[in-house]
Amino acid sequence: MLIDLAKLYGLSGQVAIVTGGAQGMGEAIARFLAGMGATIAIADVKFEKAEQVAAAIRAEGGKATAYDVDMSKEDQVVALVAGVRASEGRIDILVNNAGWQDRRYIEDTTSEFWDHIMNTNLRGPAMASREVVKVMRADRTKGRIVNISSNSALHATAPSLYAYSTSKAGVAGLTRATALETAKDGIRVNAICPGNTTTPGQMTATGPDFPPEQIAAFMPPIGRTGTPEDIASAVLYLATDASAFVTGQTLVVDGGMLTC
């Protein structure tokens, strides 16, 4: 019997929260999941852009709603999860995509800068995962959580990413810890580690510019930078039954950079 790929990857009737879904990788992820039938809650501090993405998905026959959320604020994260559960009746998928890649060299890293990066990139996903796990356990939902980490969590990629790389390494650790605690509930938790991905406007860094020779070194062996769709494809795999036996893993999607 031929495999029914539509069933394997289908998300009809399921509800997904995508944080940082207003643009870049988050927008692509929201579109991919909506394209397979999921109802999408797009959470972003850039609310007007999130509304535009949600409207575009609805115009194309999908289901999506925008939520105005700063993922560094715990009360807003708690309200997001409660609001989506109340509105949609369930939560099946959480994609912790929201992040900030501001840059500072070690000597220029203030405690305020450090806290901002950690609160957005690590504390936000941790709080969102905590709240979603509560809902999934209460509803006995065999849900999926996909965290967006970075290949810089596994290999130092550039100077001035002192705080960012640390936060993304924390996301990888968060993934494994959450997966261990929730496996018995049928909740699967995995992470994706993107490499050099062209995402205009997604993470607007204000730190030092990289020198030209270092930018050239960022080109992956595969010969091109990644696209938001490259990352969204990997998220779709981890968010569906196609990855039913996968949990606690970090999938590197970087065009071969870590082979160097």
Note if the pTM is more than 0.95.
Answer: no
Domains, the chain, ranges and CATH? 11-255 (3.40.50.720)
Catalytic residues: 164
| Residue 204 pLDDT greater than 50, yes or no | no
Is 93 within 8 Å of 69 (Cβ atoms)?
Answer: no
| Residue 202 pLDDT greater than 50, yes or no | no
Q: What percent of the chain clears pLDDT 70, i.e. is strictly above it?
A: 92
d(CA 224, CA 21): 24
Cα radius of gyration rounded to whole Å, the chain: 18
With cut-offs at 50, 70 and 90, classify the pLDDT of residue 209.
Answer: low
Q: Within 10 Å of residue 12's Cβ, how many Cβ atoms? A: 10
List pLDDT tens digits, range 155-199: 887 888 899 999 999 999 999 999 999 999 999 999 999 988 887
With cut-offs at 50, 70 and 90, classify the pLDDT of residue 1.
Answer: confident
The CA-CA-CA angle for residues 151, 255, 50, to 5°, reads 70
DSSP structure class, residue 106:
G
The CA-CA-CA angle for residues 26, 257, 178, to 5°, reads 50
